[in-house]
Amino acid sequence: MAGRYGELDYSVLTKRGFLLGVALFAIGALGELGLAASGLSVPDWERALLFDLELLGILIGLLSPFVFGVLLPLTE
């Protein structure tokens, strides 16, 4: 029987959302570390993009378990 939000597998969505957040954070952090270690001169928008990836990764990684693991299952 389908729930309020259809046939959603909350545990899979929680894990994938968290892993997406970790991946975004890792890409941003490793990109900044790589630029700092190599000493390359890059435009400020590229550094801002890597910083934004880190922030999005933290936000998605923290909110995904709460939304898909706690909030949505409770509202069904």
Residue with tokens 């949505």: 72
**For the CA atoms of 17, 5, 3, 13, what is the dihedral angle to 10 degrees?**
-10
Residue 13 lies in a domain: no
In degrees rounded to 5, what are phi and psi of residue 6? 90, -155
- Decide if 1 is inside a domain: no
Is residue 12 in a domain?
A: no
Residue 15 lies in a domain: no
Q: Range of 53's domain?
A: 21-75
Q: In the structure encoding, which two tokens stand for residue 15, read together?
A: 């894990």
Percent of the chain with pLDDT over 70: 95
22-43 pLDDT tens trace: 999 999 999 999 999 998 899 9
Is position 55 within any domain? yes
The total number of structural domains that make up the chain: 1
35 lies in some domain: yes
Residue 62 in any domain: the answer is yes
HEC string of 16-62 equals: HHHHHHHHHHHHHHHHHHHHHHHCCCCCHHHHHHHHHHHHHHHHHHH
pLDDT confidence of residue 46: 95
